[in-house]
């Protein structure tokens, strides 16, 4: 099967001060990658104005751009509008769903979304005790259920989960262990297979994961 070259970046945190600047970093990306994955925290404070900067910086790239939002992108309660602004610019935005795109004859399936906290399989919080705890964990569980369905529905040669929060603890290597519970995306009840990081052709951290 043809290899896919996947560029992955996250936490770009664009704002007006970087308008017209970030795009320069993507010059000639098509010679190095077949698809660009953007793993959330696209903005600083989640305003629509910042979302428009992101849209302008990523608009019209010669390779497909697939993105999810991060927690920063929710801060101003404008997440729905930001998603629309990005989609209007031709960016594929996953919001707890999945999609398949054919690149060089390879069907690439990508599922995901922002994600949330709660711990990892075998060591995650449960819907028990205080209402606040139950609400927190319920939100994570509902996201996990939507991702599980999205993954199940994918008919693809290669499968990637794209999220802002870490889907498995391996993505948190190097971070302080104390933040692991709030950085975990999901309690995978049943890991569908082995997960490993995608090949990244950018120098910035990636939270995109590819099923191998």
Partner 1 sequence: MDVRGEHVYLRGQVPSEERRRTIETVAREATPGLRVHNEITLVEVREPGEEEHL
Contact between 175 and partner 1 (CB under 8 A)?
Answer: no
Q: How many Å apart are CA 180 and CA 183, to the nearest integer?
A: 5
Contact flag: residue 210 with partner 1 (CB under 8 A): yes
Stated length of the chain: 212
List 73, 202, 207, 208, residue binding partner 1 (CB under 8 A): 202
Among 2, 3, 123, 170, the residue binding partner 1 under the rule CB under 8 A is 3
Tell me: does residue 32 bind partner 1 (CB under 8 A). yes
For residue 58, the minimal CB distance to partner 1 (Å) is: 15
- When asked if residue 49 is in the footprint of partner 1 (CB under 8 A), the reply is no
Residue whose CB is less far from partner 1, 18 or 63: 18
Binding mask 51-90 vs partner 1 (x if CB under 8 A, - otherwise)? ----------------------------------------
H/E stretch holding 150 reads: helix 131-153
State the Cα–Cα distance between residues 58 and 70, nearest whole angstrom.
16
CB of 127 to partner 1, least distance (A): 35
Q: Does 197 bind partner 1 (CB under 8 A)?
A: yes
**DSSP per-residue codes, 29-85:** GGGT-SEEEEES--BSS--HHHHHHHHHHHTT-SS-EEEE--GGGGTTS-HHHHHHH
Residue 113 three-state SS: strand
Nearest to 69 by CA among 146, 193, 164: 164
Q: Which residues bind partner 1 (CB under 8 A)?
A: 3, 7, 13, 17-18, 21-22, 24-25, 32, 196-203, 210, 212
């Amino acid at each position: 099967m043809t290899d896919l070259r996947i560029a992955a970046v996250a936490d770009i945190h664009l704002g007006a001060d970087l308008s017209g600047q970030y795009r320069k970093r993507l010059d000639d990306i098509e010679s190095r990658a077949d698809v660009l994955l953007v793993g959330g925290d696209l903005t600083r404070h989640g305003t629509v104005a910042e979302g428009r900067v992101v849209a302008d910086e990523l608009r019209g790239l010669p390779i497909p751009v697939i993105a999810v939002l991060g927690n920063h992108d929710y801060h101003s309660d404008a997440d729905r509008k930001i998603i629309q602004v990005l989609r209007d610019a031709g960016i594929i935005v996953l919001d707890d769903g999945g999609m398949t795109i054919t690149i060089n004859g390879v069907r690439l399936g990508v599922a995901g979304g922002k994600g949330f906290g709660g711990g990892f399989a075998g060591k995650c919080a449960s819907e028990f005790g205080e209402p606040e705890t139950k609400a927190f964990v319920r939100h994570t569980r509902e996201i996990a259920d939507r991702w599980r369905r999205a993954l199940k529905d994918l008919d693809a040669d290669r499968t990637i989960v794209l999220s802002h929060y870490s889907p498995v603890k391996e993505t948190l290597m190097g971070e302080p262990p104390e933040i692991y519970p709030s950085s975990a995306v999901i309690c995978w009840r049943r890991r569908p297979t082995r997960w490993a990081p995608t090949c990244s052709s950018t120098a910035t951290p990636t939270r995109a994961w590819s099923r191998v």
